[in-house]
Amino acid sequence: MSTDPAQIRIHSSAAAERMRAHRKRRREGSFIVRVQLDQPDIDGFVRLKLLRPGQRQDTEALQVAVRGLIYHMLDGMPLG
């Protein structure tokens, strides 16, 4: 752990920023949820055309696929 005051300020500033974001999400009723996706789950996103085969390891694309599935299910829209 660094004892350099500049480093401590940077770390506490980043921590403060994360806490502000957390409080803002909580006020807005929004949550971050971690979800484990196994290979069959990812294959399902590809089958539903929510994910391209080349995106299987892309965490941002997987996040978009999960959100897309949720939005489609909540809106009652057909997939694909």
Same structural domain for residues 9 and 47?
A: no
Same structural domain for residues 27 and 40?
A: no
Higher pLDDT, 2 or 12: 12
Q: Quote the pLDDT of residue 44.
A: 96
**Closest of 69, 56, 53, 64 to residue 80, by C-alpha:** 69
Count of domains for the chain: 2
C-alpha triplet 19, 20, 26: angle, nearest 5°: 90
Mean pLDDT across the stretch 6-16?
A: 70
Same structural domain for residues 44 and 26?
A: no
Q: Quote the pLDDT of residue 76.
A: 79
Domain around 3: 1-32
The whole-model pTM stands at 0.65
Helical H segments across 1-80, by residue range: 5-27, 39-47, 59-75
Same structural domain for residues 47 and 9?
A: no
Same structural domain for residues 28 and 44?
A: no
- The predicted-structure confidence for 24-78, as pLDDT tens digits, reads as follows 989 999 888 899 999 999 999 999 999 999 999 999 999 999 999 998 888 876 6
